[in-house]
């Protein structure tokens, strides 16, 4: 459930974050519709710019989207020695594609998004993210990520799952069978990075997702980014690598400050990469299994 009361959008979910919610003051509702898959809203807000809301949950806002999109892309890409072929599952706003193509070693980005309306509406209202689709490196398929991967075995160096939260159909993207499918779609030495919820909200769920990942990737880790418009102001990433020996915390590709600025990274640096893996003790302890 979510509601617009006296010009405020409130992100209420008794299932996902009971007893708390984040609110945004709305200037204008730019678009609202029910697609085949979900309720889609695009809002123009007072202090976070344009915001994409799916089934009442904030997916990204103009003010802080880059933190999430840069880290979910660059942590795995910079942890792979030769990240030529990248697959993005989800990410219909285009922000992750926009980041992935920045890396000079990335030759092709395949993307599979289930809801074509999210892509269309992002192109219309959220061009600062949807510009990711303009690159000739990006090949977009509207369809189901599970089906896509079943038909593309051992094809990708990096798989990024930019999903919505673990509720409804998205639950399956946090389960063991999904990690198994990704493993099979990777080339040797490949790496995956998935939206990994938030340990402040549901430590047990994050732990279960990491365990599901660890069933198929012996080298599994968890990193975090600060994103003020997400619940508790942060979000995590579940990372799994087929190379057992690779040190995920130390990027294999490092950019100079000049390169960082030229590539228009606003959040990612090599130091941020390393620091993203530093977890508070209570979380690190919970993830020792």
> Which residues in this chain contact ligand SPM in the complex, by CB under 6 A?
57, 59-60, 68-69, 91, 93, 95-96, 162, 164-165, 195, 197-198, 201, 230-231, 235
Report CA dihedral (145, 189, 226, 90) to the nearest 10 degrees: -10
CB closer to ligand SPM, 200 vs 242 = 200
Q: Considering the complex, what minimum distance in angstroms separates the CB of residue 2 from ligand SPM?
A: 12
- CA-nearest of 63, 57, 149, 138 to 98 is 138
Helix (H) or strand (E) holding 285: helix 281-286
CB closer to ligand SPM, 60 vs 191 = 60
Q: Considering the complex, what minimum distance in angstroms separates the CB of residue 161 from ligand SPM?
A: 9
Q: Considering the complex, what minimum distance in angstroms separates the CB of residue 96 from ligand SPM?
A: 5
List C-alpha distances in Å: 268 to 47, 70, 111, 137, 169.
23, 6, 22, 21, 31
Q: Considering the complex, what minimum distance in angstroms separates the CB of residue 265 from ligand SPM?
A: 16
CB closer to ligand SPM, 78 vs 88 = 88
Sequence-separated (6 or more) residues with CB below 8 Å from residue 255: 263, 265, 269, 270
CB closer to ligand SPM, 72 vs 219 = 72
CB closer to ligand SPM, 95 vs 251 = 95
Sequence-separated (6 or more) residues with CB below 8 Å from residue 138: 97, 101, 109, 111, 132
Contact 235, 66 (CB under 8 A): no
Contact 265, 254 (CB under 8 A): no
Sequence-separated (6 or more) residues with CB below 8 Å from residue 148: 87, 89, 112, 141
CB closer to ligand SPM, 66 vs 277 = 66
Decide: helix, strand or coil at residue 248.
Answer: coil
Q: Considering the complex, what minimum distance in angstroms separates the CB of residue 163 from ligand SPM?
A: 6
Which position among 55, 64, 157, 162 bears the catalytic label? Answer: 162
Give the pair of three-digit tokens for residue 224.
């975090």
- Tell me whether residue 64 is one of the annotated catalytic residues: no
List C-alpha distances in Å: 282 to 74, 128, 134, 220, 233.
26, 37, 43, 18, 18
Instruction: State the residue number with the nearest CB to ligand SPM.
Output: 198
Sequence-separated (6 or more) residues with CB below 8 Å from residue 73: 96, 99, 100, 103, 160, 193
137 phi, psi to nearest 5 deg: -75, -20
Q: Considering the complex, what minimum distance in angstroms separates the CB of residue 97 from ligand SPM?
A: 9
Residues catalogued as catalytic: 162
């Amino acid at each position: 459930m979510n509601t617009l009361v006296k010009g405020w959008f409130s992100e209420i979910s008794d299932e996902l974050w009971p007893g708390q919610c984040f609110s945004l003051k709305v200037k204008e509702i730019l678009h609202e519709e029910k697609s085949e898959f979900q309720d889609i809203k695009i809002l123009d807000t007072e202090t976070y710019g344009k915001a994409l809301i799916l089934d009442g949950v904030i997916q990204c806002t103009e003010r802080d989207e880059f933190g999430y999109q840069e880290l979910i892309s660059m942590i795995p890409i910079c942890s792979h020695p030769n990240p030529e072929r990248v697959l993005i599952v989800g990410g219909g706003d285009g922000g992750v594609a926009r980041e992935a193509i920045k890396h000079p070693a990335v030759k092709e980005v395949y993307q599979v998004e289930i809801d074509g309306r999210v892509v269309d509406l992002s192109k219309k209202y959220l061009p600062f993210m949807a510009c990711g689709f303009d690159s000739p490196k990006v090949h977009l398929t509207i369809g189901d990520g599970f089906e896509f991967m079943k038909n593309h075995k051992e094809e990708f160096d990096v798989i990024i799952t930019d999903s919505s939260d673990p509720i409804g159909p998205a639950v399956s993207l946090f389960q063991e069978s999904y990690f198994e499918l990704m493993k099979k779609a990777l080339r040797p030495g490949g790496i995956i990075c998935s939206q990994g919820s938030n340990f402040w909200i549901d430590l047990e769920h994050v732990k279960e997702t990491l365990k599901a990942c660890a069933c198929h990737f012996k080298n599994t880790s968890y990193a975090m980014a600060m994103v003020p418009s997400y619940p508790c102001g942060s979000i995590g990433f579940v990372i799994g690598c087929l190379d057992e020996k690779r040190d995920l915390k130390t990027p294999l590709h490092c950019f100079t400050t000049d390169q960082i600025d030229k590539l228009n990274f606003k959040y990612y640096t090599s130091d941020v990469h390393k620091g993203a893996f530093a977890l508070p003790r209570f979380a690190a302890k919970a993830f020792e299994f």
